[in-house]
Every structure is written in structure tokens, then in C-alpha cells.
Amino acid sequence: MDRVRVATELELEYYTGTDIPGKQYVNTPVDPEFTEELTLTIRPDELDGDPRVDVLGGRRPQVNLVGTARALEALGKYLIALARLNTADPDPHEHFEDLRNADGGTVHLIVHRTKGS
């Protein structure tokens, strides 16, 4: 299998203003479009007896994120924007409440950026 590297140019969108530490944080990436076209499934992994994690009846969780090409691209741009965000907020994060749950209903996904490199 060959490894290919393709250069690309992205437009990242932000809301900006003046962050007031401890009171108000206005610098944030623009929410991605098409999140309603994303589906999240969390089920037990198929590896019975895996010693790494003992949850979901003795099996580690398997998380599947499925989406249209445009929804995945929009989420990817959002994640890059969050990673590059210039903010005083010690916990920059966003809530996405319209991701479909493959088993019915919706999933509340919260994306956080932690401190560090």
C-alpha cells in the first residue's frame, strides 16, 4: 500500500471578540454544518475477554462515527479550528445535540480541547 500526502487549503471560521477570563469567553469556532447527518453508535466490542477495559459486560466499548462526506468534512474543519483557537477559555468546548444514535434518538456529544500540545 502506498502512502500519499495531499496538500489542502482550509478556511476555518471563528466567532471572535474579547474574552474576559473567569466571566465570558466569546472566541469560538463556528459550529459545523450537517451534524444531523452524523450517526454515533456505541456498542460492546467484538473482542470477548479483552483485558484492556472491563465495561459493557466485560468488553470494551466500540464507537462508530458515520456520516456523509460533507458532514465529516465540516466536523473535521471544526476540530482543526478548535485545536487552533486563540482563547483565554481554560476549557474550550462545544455541545452537539443532534447527532443521530444508530439505536434511535440522538446523542449529546461534547467536544473538549484540553491543555497541552
Q: Percent of the chain, pLDDT > 90?
A: 75
Give pLDDT, residue 117.
Answer: 61
| Cα 82 to the center of its chain, rounded Å | 10
**Contacts of range 96-99, beta carbons closer than 8 Å, 24 or more positions apart:** 96/31, 96/35, 98/35, 98/36, 99/35, 99/36, 99/38, 99/39, 99/40
Pick the range with the lowest mean pLDDT from 58-62, 103-107, 108-112. Answer: 58-62
46 vs 117, more confident: 46
Predicted model pTM: 0.83
What are the extents of the domains in the chain? 14-38+66-112
Tell me the pLDDT tens digit for each residue of 50-85.
555 555 556 677 889 999 999 999 999 999 999 999
52 vs 112, more confident: 112
Mean pLDDT, residues 18-26 = 93
Average confidence score pLDDT of the chain: 89
What does R_g of the chain's alpha carbons equal in angstroms? 18
